[in-house]
Structure 1
Amino acid sequence: MLKKTALAALVAAALPLTQAQAADYKIDSEGQHAFIQFKISHLGYSYILGDFKQFSGDFSYDPEAPEESSVAVKVDVDSLDSNHAERDKHILSGDFLDASKYPQASFKSTGFQIDDDGEEGEMTGELTLHGVTREVTFDVDHIGGGDDPWGGYRQGFEATTTLDLADFDIDMSQFPAPMHSVDLYVVLEGIRQ
């Protein structure tokens, strides 16, 4: 009996050391601490910059096992803002994003490979845009994490990738080659739930 009790105590004591300490975080898009921004060439002479104002999502992160991290984000396509109302209407039209037919874009991770320092890595996942789903890879950097002044706990990350728009059936063939791809820059700050 003593052996069983001692064994049970040993197992119970070891469990916290072996179980992952992953936490779930809600992306703080309402507090303007998260961003989904884009940059695309304008005819090869300049750039058009903009972002998507409405999105939501969550992620899971364990600093002891960052390779187990995951993220899921949904974006309201018609929240696109490039600081030019007429251009936004054109980008959202059937000529490009066709937001009335495809009102939502999404990303769901499928894997995360980290560098040796555990602060950077590559997150692979399925991006759905313009009704087409493709596997894409984001370069990810961990910005930091810790307590906030309101009693919460936060983690923050930034990520970048470049998309070939033809992969998502967005026809840019009438434009110069520099306009055929778009750079995405994403900042996700999450509040631990």
Structure 2
Amino acid sequence: MKVFTISALALASSITMAADYKIDPAHSAVTFEVGHLGVSTTVGRFNTFEGDFSYSDDGKSGNANFVINTDSIDTNHEARDKHLRSPDFLNVKQFPTLTFKSTSFDGETLTGELTLHGVTKTVSFDVDKVGEGSDPWGGYRAGFEASTEINRSDFGITYFIPGVSDKTEIDVYVEGIRQ
């Protein structure tokens, strides 16, 4: 199965403990927004991804890793999705996954290596912790929201700029189950 894996938050200091979480895909999402012809915004998502994350008890360190199946792109328009999967944009046959592997987390900013379209660049996400607590099934969950902006041209995706904006906003909503 082709998958875009996001492995999240786990750089514990020697003083604090880290908790490991597996992303619950039924309660998580990876979305994006791009401008269209300077008159509107097109919103999409990736339907298939997996990952994990860890973060320290004090919330000031951690890590995350994600793998996203690029073929799972969904903008609620079949013809556009087919075009987005083509070599003009994601070229999913050659680049079946989009990955993120963090290198640092300070409680507010998650920085790491994003690989898209075969190109790896350092990106930083602004992160907000939504909450954490026990679930009704005896488990323990934590949730985060993260956002960043990239220029798709930095990753070699230049088709139809500026008709479809270069700037792309990425939002990640994760709920993880402690392992």
The answer to whether the superposition gives a TM-score over 0.5 is: yes
Alpha-carbon offset, residue 187 of structure 1: 0.4
| 8 Å CA contact retained: 2:62, 2:106 | no
The percentage of counterpart residues that share the same residue type is: 48
Check if 1:46 corresponds to 2:40: yes
Q: Distance in 2 between matches of 1:72 and 1:102?
A: 18
Match of 2:4 in 1: none
Instruction: Supply the RMSD in Å over aligned alpha carbons.
Output: 1.4
Q: Distance in 2 between matches of 1:122 and 1:148?
A: 27
Structure 2 gaps, min length 5: 1-13
Match of 1:87 among 75, 80, 85: 80
Check if 1:70 corresponds to 2:63: yes
> How many residue pairs are counted as aligned between the two chains?
166
> Greater helix percent: which structure?
1
Structure of greater relative contact order (alpha carbons < 8 Å, 6+ residues apart): 2
Alpha-carbon offset, residue 68 of structure 1: 2.2
* Residues 178, 53 of structure 1: alpha-carbon distance in 2 compared, 3 angstrom cutoff: closer
Q: Distance in 2 between matches of 1:152 and 1:44?
A: 46
* Matching residue's letter, 2:48: Q
Match of 2:23 among 13, 27, 30: 27
Q: Distance in 1 between matches of 2:97 and 2:164?
A: 26
Match of 1:103 among 86, 96, 101: 96
> Greater strand percent: which structure?
2
Q: What's the TM-score, normalizing by structure 2? A: 0.89
| 8 Å CA contact retained: 1:152, 1:192 | yes
Match of 2:151 in 1: 164
Alpha-carbon offset, residue 62 of structure 1: 2.0
Alpha-carbon offset, residue 175 of structure 1: 2.9
* Matching residue's letter, 2:128: D
Alpha-carbon offset, residue 137 of structure 1: 0.4
Structure 1 gaps, min length 5: 1-17, 115-120
Alpha-carbon offset, residue 144 of structure 1: 0.4
Alpha-carbon offset, residue 177 of structure 1: 6.8
Higher gyration radius (CA): 1
Q: Distance in 2 between matches of 1:122 and 1:19?
A: 20
Alpha-carbon offset, residue 71 of structure 1: 0.4
Q: What's the TM-score, normalizing by structure 1? A: 0.82
* Matching residue's letter, 1:63: D
